[in-house]
Structure formats: C-alpha cells, structure tokens
Amino acid sequence: MFGRAINRVAVVASAQTKLRDAWSNRQHVDLISEAVVGALKGSGLRIEDVDFVIDCGSDILDGRSISNCGFLGAMGAHHKEESRVEEDGLWGALYGATKIGSGSAEVGLVLAYSKPSESDVSAFYATQCEPFYQRPVGFDHAAACGFQAQSYLASHSLSEEVFADVVAHDWALAAANSAVELETAPTAGDVRASSRVAAPLHELELSRPVDGAVAVVLASKRVAQRVCTDPVWITGIGTAMDQHSFAMRERDSLPACAAAAEAAYRRAGMDGPEGASLAELSASSAATQLMVLEALGLADPGGAARLYSEGSDVALNPSGGSLPADPIMATGLVRLSEAALQLSGRVGHGPEGASSAIVHGAGGVGMQNHCVFTLEV
Amino acid sequence: MDRTTSASMEMRSEGLGTTPSEHPAFAGRIELPYKLTTGRAASVFLAELASRRIVGSRCPSCARVLVPAQDFCAECGTAAEELVVVASAGSLSGFTETAAGVLGLIRLDGASTDLVHRILDAGLADLQVGQRVAARWAEEAQGSVLDIVGFAADDAPAASEEVRPLSDPSDPVIEQPYRLRLDYQHAYGPYYGRLFDEIATSRRIQGVRCPRCECVLVPPREYCDTCFVRTAEWVDVADTGVIKAFSIIHLEFVGQVREPPYIYAEIVLDGAATRLIHTVGGIEVEEAMERLHPGTAVRAVWKDGEPVGTLEDIVYFEPVFDD
Ligand SMILES: [Zn+2]
Ligand SMILES: [Zn+2]
C-alpha cells in the first residue's frame, strides 16, 4: 500500500489561474508565477522550504525547446532541483510523490501550464503521430476521438444522443466553478447543434482547449501534519500506457486506464472505486469520458451514460472536468488540485462530507497514457 | 536627468482582463527539415506499394499478422521479422470524418490488425461496419503510404485469408523527407508589452528593479528569478553598455536570421544587472578579434525610420573605443 508501506505523502496546498480560452495578455511565466505564489500563500510553507520543483508542459505547444529553462524564475526554481516532465501534470505529481515517499525530500512543488491559444492544437497532436503510416493520411487526435466515439456507440448499440448529456452536465458544473471562465453553458440541444468535427462527435463533444497554470504542493507526513490541519493523503497511484499505434488499440474501451486504476486501487488497499466520494476525470471527448468511467470501474462497459441519466453515487467532475476546460498538459494536475481542494472543503463545489476521491489524468493521441490517483482525508 | 520612473505596474496596451483579440501577438514559426529513418518493416512496406503489394509482419509469439508491417509486436514485445503480403481489399471496421475528410479503419483480408487510411467516394451515411473496401492505387508511386490513394467500396467477395510470403522484395525506402512547420502567436504579456511599447514610442529601454537584491532586470519580468519576489519598480536603462562575452559566428544553421560571419554578444546595459543577447557591428570581424574584449563599451545603433517595437529596432551595438 503506497500510503502506508513507505512514507505517506499529502497534498497540502494548490492553486490555479483562471482557465480561459486565451490568456493573450499574459505570458507563460505570468501564469506560472500566479499559480505558484497562490499555492504557497497561506500554506505555512515558503519557497525556501521547497526541496524540488517538477514542471509539466509541452515544448511543441510552447514553441520553444526545453521551455522550462526560460520559466525557472517564475517557478521559484532558482538553484533548486528542477525536473521537467513532458507529460500531463499528474505524472509530475506521481514523480514528486515518489520522491517524497522514498524519503529523499520533504516538500515538492509540482506545476503544469498550458497556452494552446498560442499554437495549433491539431498540429500539436499531429507531431505525436507516427510519421510514415499515420500523419500522411490525415490521422490526428480529432480523428482518434471520432473513431473511439463511433466504435463505442456501435459496440453498445447506443444513440449518439448520450454524448450531449455528458457535455451539458459538465459544462453546467464548470459554469458554477469560479476557476473556469465561461460565458454560458450550452444545453444538450446546443451541443447537438454544434458542428460535427469528428463524426459522430460535434465540436462541443470534444474538450475545449484553454490556457492556464496550476501548482500543487506535496509534502511528507511530518511536514503535512505541521502545516496543515486537513492534509489530503495520496493513498494510491497507478499508471499505464497503451500501444502507440492507435489502429491496433481497443477503441470502445480504455484498457490502459483500467490497468492504471487497478494498480492505484491495489496500492490503496481498495477493491475498486466503491466508497469514493468524487471522481475528477480527464477526457478528450464525451465518448472517452464514458470509457474512463467504465475503466475506473464506476460503470459496466457501455453503461456509463446511465450515470448521467439516472444519477451517480460518486460525484462526477464536480469542477466541471476536462470537457469544458482542457489546459492540455495541465489537465490532470488541475484534477488533482480540484479533488484536494474539494476534500479539504476549501471550495464550495465539492460534495458535502467528501472523504475520498479518484483522480484521473491522460495524455497522448486518443488518450494513449493514463494515470490514476486515489486520495483521502 | 532622473531616468527612473516609479511605476504603478500600469499596463499600456496589455490591460489585464480584456478580450483576447485586442492584444497584439508576436508571430513565431518553427520550421525544421528532417530525414526520417523508416526502419526495416516500414522501409519494405513503403517500397512494396510500387508493386501494389501491402506488406505485414507476423509476430512469432502471438502469430498475429500486423498491418502495416511493424518491427515489433507491441503486445508481445517480440521482433516481428517475418514479412508477408496480405490482400489489398478487406472490410471496414471503423470510420470518422474530420477536416481531413473521411477516414476509415480497415481490416485487410489476412491481417490481424487495422490500418488507418482515407475512404474515397463515400459520405459517412454510405458507410457500414463490415462493408467491403479495396485499395485504389496512385498512378505513380512515391514511396509513401499515399501510394494507396485510399480505399473505396468494393463488390468483390473476400479473397482467401491466406497470406503469402514476401518474395523478390524491391529496394527498401530507407529514408523519408519530412518538414515540420509550426506557427505561433505568442503573447507579449504586460512586461514585454511595456518594454516593446517603450522602444516603439520613445526608443527607451526599460527594466524592473527587484526590491530584495536591487538588481535591474532586462527584459522586465514580474518575479525576480533569483529572489522569487515581485519586482516593484520600472527603471529606465541606457542604450549603452559593456560587452560581457562575445562569439564570432561562422556556422550556418537552419533558422539563422543573419548571414555569417557576425558577432553575437552578451551586453550589460548601463543601469541593468542582466545580460542582453544582441549583435555587435560597425567593426570588421578581423578587427573585432583584435580589439573586442569583455568590458569593451558599446552603444546601440538604432534603425532609421519609425521603430516598430522589437529588439530588431536596434540594428546592432557598436563598440566605443577610447582611442
Ligand atoms: Zn505478438
Ligand atoms: Zn532579486
């Protein structure tokens, strides 16, 4: 068990900038420093207490190579141990928790940031596609999402109507979350009326790329109990990666996500997701969100849509999740921050009396990689 | 003249919280040429398209036929060295339509895996999982997966599931050219925005002072890199300074904006604590090798005409010699 056999690790503080379509009046460094300063503020810890900094982003999205080198000052990483993880920020948290859990450090700052508005999201994903067989025919992330949706509906004889309900549910929650900038939340009808961009998916059934930054402070049990009355403990972590060739993967399910969840539950001493108060998920489309719920064990294969039509015991994406706000590369770490804030009661939109959470992050074309955390207070 | 302006962090053209479109952005592009090595399996697959043969590889562990050919079976982790020829027709196992057109996942007869490719002459409404499709070949082969133009509906019955060993292979396509091109619209942000606005309006270079270490940082930024405290004060710095280090560039490289040889230098502007990277000009390379040293004084040579608000408004820094 991750939390008990070795040193326990807690999320003791976190903060994020507002997530919005474009922060076109601020640079990456401006967003990063706001998140880092926000996370430390009131945490009982200062930048001097931070033993290491792990940052997550994409050189391709940033438009410069080894972009972290230019952002060190804004991270507070001067002359500190600093590592870059070119993956979603939840893998940065995995790395940080592992360092602290092993006893090699006590306080870690994990941050992730994204400014997809400066770049072209489809070109970003296309660079991740295999260059001989995939890129020339026009295969990209949107196509992967479309294939997954088509396959999911076909396998379970479902109508495409199910997707719009998922989107409307999450956007309504995001509209109530002050961390997400939204003018209005679309209704299911609006979703179905949006243009088809990756058939059968409509534009609003794909996640909305947004700009933003998030920072999370992780600490050892000793430090957490000193600075925090309500540390949020990391009880389990699992990660798994599917094969690179999308055409050779399962398309109506996410077995790598299921493997990551199983590893996290096992380490937490859990038999499955039963008893979790909330789940914060990262999905690139409404279809893959349903598949994530099934992979996490929250629904049977093909049954996740009923969590929206009939209700769910586990609060799903109380923050709104990734569909209304997907700061690519930071999405999973936003989920961790959100879940921790909800468990510690520091934001109003978490379920009442929440005591445990499942956090999911993903990365790659068609969500090749998955990472799952379990948390408790 | 007191050139220090105490500033209230007022943002000129970059007021926080206004709508995105009002903000000018810096257009950047990354463009890189590649010569990609195809590897054994892809090199044969691409070459055989000229003979209108589709090549797969058989995994010795799970016996699946991987199409298009792969060097390794991703599920077993085993080298899939045996190359085989599969049918060029099969059935459709999935489809979507994006800005790139209609794409399909195709299970060729004899293959154990799907291939992603274009679907021709059909709208989504015409497509069904399981329907027969066949390759349409390009007139002239280029050694690319697009030597198959795409797949179209086909009435012919399924051929035998038998795969044939690859015989008389053509010369492999061992390399493919690729050009990466990515375009960006970088935000200036409030600090660079003000720096460039000041250059454009008054040829004035501004930095910010850190209240803890008292260093003046150019370009300006919200947090001091070393102290991680908020910078508090805008400060004018001079357009004169001293060379801290320099290098004469003779190398040519992709993306180079000046023709070599030229002199790249780290310059500490008078009043600043940071090094600005720019060029030194107004001096021949031979003379520069003799006379430039760390500590040599320089001054900015501004471009004629209206400044536009970039560091390119300074053509170069020219040395100022005592003699
Ligand atoms: Zn195999
Ligand atoms: Zn300082």
Dump pLDDT digits (tens) for B151-194: 999 988 877 778 999 999 999 999 999 999 999 999 999 999 99
Q: Residue A372: inside a domain, yes or no?
A: yes
**Residue A121 three-state SS:** helix
Instruction: Flag whether pLDDT at A3 surpasses 60.
Output: no
**Minimum distance, in Å, between the CA of residue B286 and any CA atom of chain A:** 33
Flag if B20 and A25 touch (Cβ within 8 Å): yes
Measured torsion, CA atoms of residues A256, A259, A263, A264, in degrees rounded to the nearest 10: 60
Please tell me which residue, B232 or B83, carries the higher pLDDT value.
B83
**Minimum distance, in Å, between the CA of residue B149 and any CA atom of chain A:** 9
For residue B98, give both structure tokens.
Answer: 């994006």
Interface test with B, best of A79, A109, A132, A139 (most B CBs within 10 A): A132
**Strand pairing report for B262-269 and B240-249:** antiparallel
User: Rounded to whole angstroms, how far apart are CA atoms A160 and B166?
Assistant: 43
Flag if B94 and A251 touch (Cβ within 8 Å): yes
Neighboring chain A residues of B183 at a CB cutoff of 8 Å: 119-120, 123
Residues B139 and B231 both lie in one domain: no
The band of A34, judged by pLDDT with boundaries at 50, 70 and 90, is very high
For residue B110, give both structure tokens.
Answer: 């004899």
User: Rounded to whole angstroms, how far apart are CA atoms A358 and B194?
Assistant: 44
pLDDT, mean of residues B289-304:
96
pLDDT given at position B157: 81
**Minimum distance, in Å, between the CA of residue B289 and any CA atom of chain A:** 31
Q: Residue B226: inside a domain, yes or no?
A: yes
Neighboring chain A residues of B103 at a CB cutoff of 8 Å: 137-139, 143, 146-147
The band of A230, judged by pLDDT with boundaries at 50, 70 and 90, is confident
pLDDT, mean of residues A227-240:
95
Given B173, B194, B222, the domain boundary residue is: B173
Contact B75, A243 (CB under 8 A): yes
Residues 121-160 of B with CB under 8 A from A: 124, 129, 144-146, 150
User: Rounded to whole angstroms, how far apart are CA atoms A285 and A323?
Assistant: 7
pLDDT given at position A348: 85
Least confident of A18-27, A298-307, A327-336, B251-260: B251-260
Closest CA to B242 of B295, B302, B300: B295
Q: Sheet harboring B65-66: ordered strands across?
A: B65-66, B54-58, B82-86, B164-165
Instruction: Flag whether pLDDT at B11 surpasses 50.
Output: no
* Closest by Cβ to A25, choosing from B46, B105, B189: B189
**Token match 């209005």: residue?**
A184
Number of structural domains chain A divides into: 1
A189 CA from centroid of ligand 2 (Å): 54
Neighboring chain A residues of B70 at a CB cutoff of 8 Å: 245
Q: Residue A78: inside a domain, yes or no?
A: yes
Flag if B190 and A138 touch (Cβ within 8 Å): no
**Residue A72 three-state SS:** helix
Structural domain containing residue B119: 39-173
pLDDT given at position B6: 31
For residue A251, give both structure tokens.
Answer: 């398309």
* Closest by Cβ to B187, choosing from A23, A147, A246: A23
User: Rounded to whole angstroms, how far apart are CA atoms B201 and B196?
Assistant: 9
Q: Residue B73: inside a domain, yes or no?
A: yes
A63 CA from centroid of ligand 2 (Å): 28
pLDDT given at position B155: 87
**Residue B285 three-state SS:** helix
pLDDT, mean of residues A51-56:
98
Residues 8-27 of B with CB under 8 A from A: 11, 14-18, 20-21, 23, 25
For residue B70, give both structure tokens.
Answer: 């792969």
**Residue B202 three-state SS:** helix
pLDDT cut 70: percent of chain A above it: 98
pLDDT given at position B20: 39
pLDDT digits (tens, 9 = 90+) for B111-159: 999 999 999 999 999 999 999 999 999 999 999 999 999 999 998 887 7
pLDDT given at position B316: 97
Size of interface A-B (CB pairs under 8 A): 174
Residues B97 and B20 both lie in one domain: no
Interface test with A, best of B11, B96, B144, B175 (most A CBs within 10 A): B96
Instruction: Flag whether pLDDT at B9 surpasses 60.
Output: no
pLDDT, mean of residues A326-345:
97
For residue A317, give both structure tokens.
Answer: 């994406």
pLDDT, mean of residues A326-340:
98
Residues B108 and B84 both lie in one domain: yes
Q: Residue A2: inside a domain, yes or no?
A: no
Q: Residue A141: inside a domain, yes or no?
A: no
First and final C-alpha spacing in chain A: 16
Q: Which residue of A has its CA nearest to B111?
A: A248
Residues B27 and B68 both lie in one domain: no
Neighboring chain B residues of A79 at a CB cutoff of 8 Å: 226
Instruction: Flag whether pLDDT at B8 surpasses 90.
Output: no
What residues contact A349, with CB distance under 8 A and at least 6 apart? A173, A176, A177, A318, A319, A342
* Closest by Cβ to A132, choosing from B42, B97, B228: B42
Q: Residue B243: inside a domain, yes or no?
A: yes
| Biggest CA pair distance of chain B | 91
User: Rounded to whole angstroms, how far apart are CA atoms B119 and A20?
Assistant: 37
Residues B191 and B314 both lie in one domain: yes
Closest CA to A127 of B42, B173, B43, B30: B30
- The mean of the pLDDT values for chain A is 96
Q: For the whole model, what pTM was predicted? A: 0.94
Report yes or no: B184 at the A interface, CB cutoff 8 Å.
yes
pLDDT, mean of residues A16-29:
96
Structural domain containing residue A35: 9-120+208-376
For residue A178, give both structure tokens.
Answer: 């002050």
Extract the runs of DSSP E, i.e. beta strands, from B43-109. 54-58, 65-66, 82-86, 89-98, 101-108
The band of B22, judged by pLDDT with boundaries at 50, 70 and 90, is low
Instruction: Flag whether pLDDT at A234 surpasses 90.
Output: yes
Contact A9, A218 (CB under 8 A): yes
Neighboring chain A residues of B176 at a CB cutoff of 8 Å: 131-132
Q: Residue B178: inside a domain, yes or no?
A: no
Q: For residue A21, which phi and psi values (nearest 5 degrees)?
A: -45, -50
The CATH number that applies at residue A338 is: 3.40.47.10
| DSSP result, A243-300 | -S-GGGS-SSS-HHHHHHHHHHHHHHT-SSSTT-SEEE---SBHHHHHHHHHHTTSS-
Q: Residue B12: inside a domain, yes or no?
A: yes
Return the DSSP state at A318.
T
pLDDT digits (tens, 9 = 90+) for A243-284: 999 999 999 999 999 999 999 999 999 999 999 999 999 999
Residues B63 and B164 both lie in one domain: yes
**Residue B165 three-state SS:** strand
Q: Residue A170: inside a domain, yes or no?
A: no
A223 CA from centroid of ligand 2 (Å): 28
What residues contact A9, with CB distance under 8 A and at least 6 apart? A3, A97, A100, A101, A218, A219, A220, A221, A224, A233, A234
Q: Residue A182: inside a domain, yes or no?
A: no
**Minimum distance, in Å, between the CA of residue B102 and any CA atom of chain A:** 9
Q: Residue B82: inside a domain, yes or no?
A: yes
Number of structural domains chain B divides into: 2
Neighboring chain B residues of A246 at a CB cutoff of 8 Å: 116
Q: Residue A281: inside a domain, yes or no?
A: yes
My answer on whether omega of the bond before B261 falls inside 30° of 0, hence cis, is: yes
Q: Residue B63: inside a domain, yes or no?
A: yes
pLDDT given at position A356: 97
Please tell me which residue, B20 or A104, carries the higher pLDDT value.
A104
Please tell me which residue, A119 or B15, carries the higher pLDDT value.
A119
